[in-house]
């Protein structure tokens, strides 16, 4: 849904989304959860639209004011908690597998040194909803942990997230370890996170940069299809 679509929503629903963004900014978890439930139950909104128009839009404003020194870590932590509360409401809807074949197994985590996990968790949920089995290793994950999980679960895909320019280079280390230990050929590597670019993904030897969760799902499906054809 784009801005034009937003403008075409009923005014009361636009107001609900704007309130959701404001409440997220203010870290009011209960209010954000309540607005999420209202958008679902009373307005029949799709989870993806609630995420985009309410939650991610609100977090974008938080990100701008954090960057500009208007908000600080404690406030941003509260906003993150509010967002996570709403994501818990959406989780069962996003992870519900609807008549799709099992797609494969994904090991996903936020790389070493980085504790941002909202986007990574969202990607994990959307992949589950698309029929993937998802092993979420959490935050601050090092190469040993990624490799051990890939082996333990005989995983098809490695998904790595980094939100800091200081942690994104660690993805290269993990990919090099995959090569060193003979796992690179059989593992599809997807990377994402706000500071990344396609050029960076190519440079470190990843298979695809995913700018958002929807792209991650598309890329995972497309690359699995190619992997299956090669097998
Ligand atoms: Co942090 N932080 N933060 N922070 N934080 C950023 C990333 C920052 C851009 C803010 C800013 O300055 N504007 C900035 C980084 C600057 C830089 O490196 N260039 C920053 C900073 C500096 C920091 C600290 C260093 C601050 C400090 O302590 N002084 C510190 C670092 C701690 C650490 O990691 N070691 C820190 C801490 C925190 C909080 C703990 C307060 C909190 C995190 C809470 C949590 O995650 N549990 C936080 C938050 C919330 C943010 C912002 C505001 C929001 C991130 C977010 O959740 N976005 C962020 C600003 C921003 O990104 N604009 C910021 C919403 C989420 C849905 O989007 O994560 O981009 P995103 O995920 C998307 C895509 O990127 C993609 O799909 C997702 C869904 O569409 N994607 C993937 C992500 N991962 C993927 C993996 C895939 C595929 C796609 O694998 C297949």
- Three-class SS string for the chain? CCHHHHHHCCHHHHHHHHHHHHHHHCCCHHHHHHHHHHHHHCCCCCHHHHHHHHHHHHHHHHHHHHHCCCCCHHHHHHHHHHHHHHHHHHHHHHHCCCCCCCCEEEEEEEECCCCCCHHHHHHHHHHHHCCEEEEECCCCECHHHHHHHHHHCCCCEEEEECCCCCCCCHHHHHHHHHHHCCCCCCCEEEEECCCCCHHHHHHHCCCEEECCHHHHHHHHHHHHHHHHHHC
- Residue 37 clears pLDDT 90, i.e. is over it: yes
Ligand 1 atom closest to 157 (CA): 91
Ligand 1 atom closest to 64 (CA): 13
Confidence of residue 2 (pLDDT cuts 50, 70, 90): low
- For residue 146, give the nearest of 127, 133, 159, 134 by alpha carbon: 159
- Residue 97 clears pLDDT 90, i.e. is over it: no
Task: Give me the pLDDT at residue 100, please.
Answer: 73
Q: What is the mean pLDDT of the chain?
A: 96
Do the Cβ atoms of 193 and 186 come closer than 8 Å? no
Do the Cβ atoms of 62 and 25 come closer than 8 Å? yes
Question: How many Cα atoms within 13 Å fall on the side-chain side of residue 31?
Answer: 16
- Residue 4 clears pLDDT 80, i.e. is over it: no
- Measured distance CA(38)–CA(9) in Å, rounded: 15
**pLDDT tens digits, one per residue of 154-170:** 999 999 999 999 999 99
Torsion of CA 37, 52, 196, 152, to 10 degrees: 40
Q: Is the CB of 195 under 6 A from ligand 1?
A: yes
**How far does residue 157's CA lie from ligand 1's centre (Å)?**
23
Predicted TM-score (pTM) of this structure: 0.96
Do the Cβ atoms of 178 and 148 come closer than 8 Å? no
Do the Cβ atoms of 79 and 24 come closer than 8 Å? yes
- Residue 108 clears pLDDT 90, i.e. is over it: yes
**How far does residue 212's CA lie from ligand 1's centre (Å)?**
13
Q: Is the CB of 66 under 6 A from ligand 1?
A: yes
- Measured distance CA(146)–CA(18) in Å, rounded: 39
**How far does residue 185's CA lie from ligand 1's centre (Å)?**
30
Contacts of 104 (CB under 8 A, 6+ apart): 132, 133, 155, 156, 157, 220, 224, 227
- Residue to probe by mutation, ligand 1, list 194, 198, 210, 223, most atoms within 8 Å of CB: 194
**How far does residue 164's CA lie from ligand 1's centre (Å)?**
7
- Measured distance CA(131)–CA(200) in Å, rounded: 28
**How far does residue 75's CA lie from ligand 1's centre (Å)?**
14
Do the Cβ atoms of 216 and 210 come closer than 8 Å? yes
Structure tokens at 101: 């074949």
Nearest CA to ligand 1 atom 12: 67
């Amino acid at each position: 849904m784009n801005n034009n679509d937003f403008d075409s929503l009923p005014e009361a629903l636009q107001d609900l989304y704007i309130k959701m963004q404001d409440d997220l900014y203010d870290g009011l978890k209960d209010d954000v959860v309540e607005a999420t439930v209202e958008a679902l139950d009373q307005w029949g909104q799709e989870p993806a639209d609630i995420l985009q128009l309410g939650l991610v839009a609100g977090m974008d404003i938080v990100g701008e004011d954090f960057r500009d020194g208007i908000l600080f870590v404690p406030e941003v932590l509260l906003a993150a908690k509010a967002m996570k509360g709403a994501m818990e409401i959406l989780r069962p809807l996003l992870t519900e597998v609807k008549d799709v074949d099992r797609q494969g197994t994904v090991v996903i985590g936020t790389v070493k040194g980085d504790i941002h996990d909202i986007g990574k968790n969202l990607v994990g949920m959307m992949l589950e909803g698309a029929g993937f089995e998802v092993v979420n290793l959490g935050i601050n994950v090092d190469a040993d942990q990624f490799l051990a999980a890939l082996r333990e679960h005989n995983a098809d895909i490695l998904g790595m997230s980094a939100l800091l320019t200081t942690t994104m280079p660690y993805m290269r280390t993990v990919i090099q370890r995959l090569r060193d230990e003979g796992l690179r050929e059989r593992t599809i590597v997807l990377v994402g996170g706000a500071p990344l670019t396609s050029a960076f993904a190519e440079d470190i030897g990843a298979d695809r940069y995913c700018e958002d969760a929807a792209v991650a799902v598309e890329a995972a499906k497309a690359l699995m299809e190619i992997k299956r054809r090669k097998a």
